[in-house]
Amino acid sequence: MSDRSTAPGDDDQESTDRPDDDRGRTPKKKRPFWVELPILIGVALVLTFVIQTFLARVFVIPSESMEQTLHGCPGCTGDRVLVDKVVYVFGDPEPGEVVVFERPGTWNRSEFVSTRSDNAVLGWLQGVGALFGLAAPDEDDVVKRIVAVGGQTVECCDERNRVLVDGKPLDEPYIYWDPAQERLQQEFGAIRVPDGKLFVMGDNRNNSGDSRTQGGGGDNGFVPVDNVIGKVRVIVLPPSRWQGVGDHNPQALSAPAWQTGIPMGVGIAAAWPTLWLGRRVRGILRGSDR
């Protein structure tokens, strides 16, 4: 029999003195917001970098050559577009698709001049901004629409002013005619596209430096498939321009309706993995604070 007597209420006092933590440890103090914020920003930047390097990237459209499919005209807000970098891992570029590619070495000029600062620090910041779609890209990144692929023969024009591929006229509802210019395409003779190359043109047909003229045209105007960065899927900014970018096949007699435009939901679906990853990381960081 114990000599220790227990006074009424002692058990209640002991239970009150115990830590709330089930494991008998005092919970860690949560990090202040000013400490957590840089961590979250750093993680978000790393995730964004990984996604834009391997999956999808946002590009700024600085040139008017793709009007009015993509805005890049002087005086207007240049579109920010989401470029799918995975699609061509599983297949080849097809006619009608709008693609971003590295300017071939045979092309002799760019359609715009990137305003990079001579200051090393500012120039680096502008480069980072371009990576995240916040600044104009390097002038070696170009956006055009594929008209013909390797093995096909392209020429212009027939009696109705249409481009021909393998002797058949193209159906090109996306062409934009500058009101200040004549509705007449530049003529060029038949030329066969080599395997592994692309023949590209701008939708703003009379204001585009493309496969017809770059490098003097001919063989120098082709774009190597290996230069293609990805397929333009959707316009993400400005909000007033939210829409899909169609990949109407101009070589098809009648394209399916879904090819005339990709719903804005595709853009939301593309953004969802980023949001999900961000929330997961935030949850893990919060869990480590406990």
Q: What is the pLDDT of residues 61-118, one digit of tens each?
A: 888 999 999 998 766 778 889 999 999 989 999 999 999 999 999 998 666 555 555 6
From 63, 85, 144, 211, the catalytic residue:
144
Known catalytic residue at 65:
yes
Q: Shortest CA distance to 223 belongs to which of 135, 97, 116?
A: 97
DSSP class of 28: P
Bigger pLDDT: 127 vs 177 = 177
Phi-psi region of 168 (alpha: psi -120 to 50; beta: other; left: phi over 0): beta
Helix 33-54 × helix 264-288 angle, to 10°: 140
Tell me the C-alpha to C-alpha distance, in Å, between residue 30 and each of 96, 121, 279, 280, 290: 54, 36, 18, 18, 7
Q: What is the per-residue pLDDT for 140? A: 74
> What residue type is 244 in one-letter code?
G
Q: What is the per-residue pLDDT for 76? A: 73
Strand partners, 204: 176
Torsions phi, psi of 271, nearest 5?
A: -80, -20
Q: Shortest CA distance to 201 belongs to which of 168, 183, 176?
A: 176
| DSSP string of 182-204, one letter each residue | -S-PPPEEEEEPPTTEEEEE-SB
Q: What is the per-residue pLDDT for 108? A: 83
SS3 17: helix
How far from the centroid of its chain's Cα atoms is residue 253's Cα? 29
CB 208, CB 197: distance < 8 Å: no
Question: pLDDT for 190-248, tens place per residue?
Answer: 999 999 999 999 999 999 999 999 999 999 999 999 999 999 999 998 888 989 998 89
Rounded CA separation 183/180 (Å): 9
pTM, two decimal places: 0.67
Number of helices and strands (H, E) in the chain?
Answer: 4, 12
Residue 124 has pLDDT above 80, yes or no: no
Residue 168 has pLDDT above 50, yes or no: yes
Tell me the C-alpha to C-alpha distance, in Å, between residue 232 and each of 77, 139, 174, 222: 18, 17, 15, 19
Q: Shortest CA distance to 151 belongs to which of 102, 92, 99, 231?
A: 92
Q: How many residues does the chain have?
A: 290
Strand partners, 80: 60, 237
From 2, 5, 28, 65, the catalytic residue:
65
